[in-house]
């Protein structure tokens, strides 16, 4: 199922969401220009759990090499499909979460959930030497926040069947994101029982799960502290 857009109108321009998309695209285009130097670049700036726990590939005194990739890895991607998939989800769901949280809090939220997602992955695979790249952990946090903040929203979804697209249908956001989360949990459970190289092609499923849960928790806390006083209509606005 391919999400196209949601039913929630925004009231201010999502400057942070568009800035994050622009940075991710710019960094990926820079990766394409590196040629043979790309592998060394990825090994340097991707998040590697074994390096984070000082188990391999680093000088024990190299604190920047140990901790900085937790942040830099959020802006690296492994291919066009990886980048496009992440940016579509960020574009569809990020603007609404930014609208609700505000620009500064949204940026902090995005970075913190991204870091948290990486650490969940690291603690479940501490000896992994596979480089982890992508904005998926932070975007999973955005999805978790959307799940809590916009329970009545609809996601307009292109539904494929084999090689045929059946058309666009409205799916409740809680159903769409609930199914997405369930898929992450199922794949993550398989990953715990098999080496990462053999389970899911090295996808950090538990980073997705950790980010989503963190996003839900933070959004629930914020909603409890400051009830939203917005009219009901934007969550039901037509396509």
pLDDT per residue as tens, the chain (239 positions): 789 999 999 999 999 999 999 999 999 999 999 989 999 999 889 999 888 887 655 555 567 777 899 999 999 998 999 999 999 999 999 999 999 999 999 999 999 999 999 999 999 888 888 899 999 999 999 999 999 999 999 999 988 776 666 778 899 999 999 999 999 999 888 877 665 544 444 678 899 999 999 999 999 998 776 655 454 445 444 44
Domains defined along the chain, listed by start? 2-236 (1.20.1540.10)
Total Cβ atoms within 10 A of residue 22: 11
- The structure's pTM equals 0.86
């Amino acid at each position: 199922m391919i999400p196209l857009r949601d039913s929630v109108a925004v009231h201010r321009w999502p400057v942070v969401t568009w800035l994050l998309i622009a940075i991710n695209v710019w960094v990926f285009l820079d990766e394409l220009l590196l040629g043979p130097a790309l592998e060394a670049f990825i090994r340097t700036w991707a998040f590697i759990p074994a390096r984070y726990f000082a188990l391999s590939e680093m000088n024990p005194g190299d604190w920047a090499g140990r901790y900085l990739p937790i942040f830099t890895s959020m802006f690296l991607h492994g291919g066009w499909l990886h980048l496009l998939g992440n940016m579509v989800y960020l574009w569809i769901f990020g603007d609404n979460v930014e609208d609700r949280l505000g620009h500064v809090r949204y940026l902090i939220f995005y970075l913190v959930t991204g870091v948290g997602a990486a650490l969940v992955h690291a603690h479940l695979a501490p000896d992994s030497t596979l480089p982890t790249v992508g904005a998926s952990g932070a975007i999973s946090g955005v999805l978790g926040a959307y799940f809590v903040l916009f329970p009545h929203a609809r996601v307009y979804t292109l539904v494929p069947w084999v090689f045929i697209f059946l058309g666009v249908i409205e799916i409740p956001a809680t159903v769409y994101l609930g199914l997405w989360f369930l898929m992450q949990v199922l794949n993550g459970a398989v990953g715990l029982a098999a080496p990462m190289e053999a389970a899911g092609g090295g996808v950090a499923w538990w980073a997705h799960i950790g980010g989503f849960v963190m996003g839900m928790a933070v959004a629930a806390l914020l909603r409890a502290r400051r009830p939203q006083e917005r009219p009901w209509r934007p969550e039901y606005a037509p396509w």
